[in-house]
Structure 1
């Protein structure tokens, strides 16, 4: 069974995240969306709310599972039996950053492969941090997040 992890904070999930998931899920038997929990960082949404939001977005696909985790992502991959890690690439700087992380992960766990999915051009400027900023100032984020996520932001 081919199992992959798509890790991130998903605070909140964006249309760019959804695009990466939809384009990569067909490559695997099971895809975990892993919400990385950093106890030193205060998110906009609670981890539980993010889990519920992502489950709602992907409720019609039984191959997609949502779970929060703490610690090294490669260790979490091992714990769920994932041999692949999906990473979205929006820009050249994303590639450089993700390449360095992938190389470190490979040094820690050589059997886990990182797979980069390049975002569609229309999504390259969408990031959770920009969406959070718009939310903080009461802006309309409906064009950047899936419609199923909107109720979780109110």
Structure 2
């Protein structure tokens, strides 16, 4: 008797990633171990005023994840559940830092489930050393010339220096 063909397990990790932080990278590394393919999907959120363009964010993510073979970087501008269906994914991965994150993400997961009952949302608790870290905090630190080395990858740090017109040795 032949074995049934196992469907590829695909997960989507959506976010703005403006910029991608070490907290995001922690979730990406851990989620990539759980699925056959992890699609890190940059949301083109029209209601936000991002520091980096969608193209810049996807490029920075490609550089940061180049060593993870089952991670794919993409972008979307649609309802998340439509994107999940388009990619034939089964799971949405969301990182949780705080109780406030959980309340917000639970509401989104409930809405997504009502729109697409086959898409499951999995919450991954952030590594405690990144529980305080957000893209907004990193941008503020960089804007005022603070050192962001421990919060982002070297490529992101360099890109932020260029955005804030700082010399490479200033921050």
TM-score band by shorter chain is: over 0.9
Alpha-carbon shift at residue 40 of structure 1 (Å): 3.0
Q: How many residues align?
A: 154
**C-alpha deviations, 1:74-107, integer Å up to 9, x for none?**
1111111111000000001111110110001000
With CA pairs under 8 Å and 6+ residues apart, which has the higher RCO, 1 or 2?
1
What TM-score do you get using the length of structure 1 for normalisation?
0.96
Aligned to 2:103: 96
Q: 1:83 aligns with which of 67, 90, 93?
A: 90
Q: 1:60 aligns with which of 67, 73, 83?
A: 67
Within a 5 Å distance, the mapping from 1:89-128 to structure 2 comes to: 89-128=96-135
Aligned to 2:166: none
- Structure 1, unaligned runs of 5 or more: none
User: Bigger radius of gyration, 1 or 2?
Assistant: 2
Q: Does 1:44 align with 2:51?
A: yes
- CA distance in 1 between counterparts of 2:87 and 2:145 reads 38
- CA distance in 2 between counterparts of 1:94 and 1:40 reads 19
Runs of 4+ in 1 over 3 A off after TM superposition: none
Aligned to 2:14: 7
- CA distance in 2 between counterparts of 1:71 and 1:139 reads 35
What TM-score do you get using the length of structure 2 for normalisation?
0.87
- Structure 2, unaligned runs of 5 or more: 1-7, 163-171
Structure 1 stretch displaced more, 72-81 or 143-152: 143-152
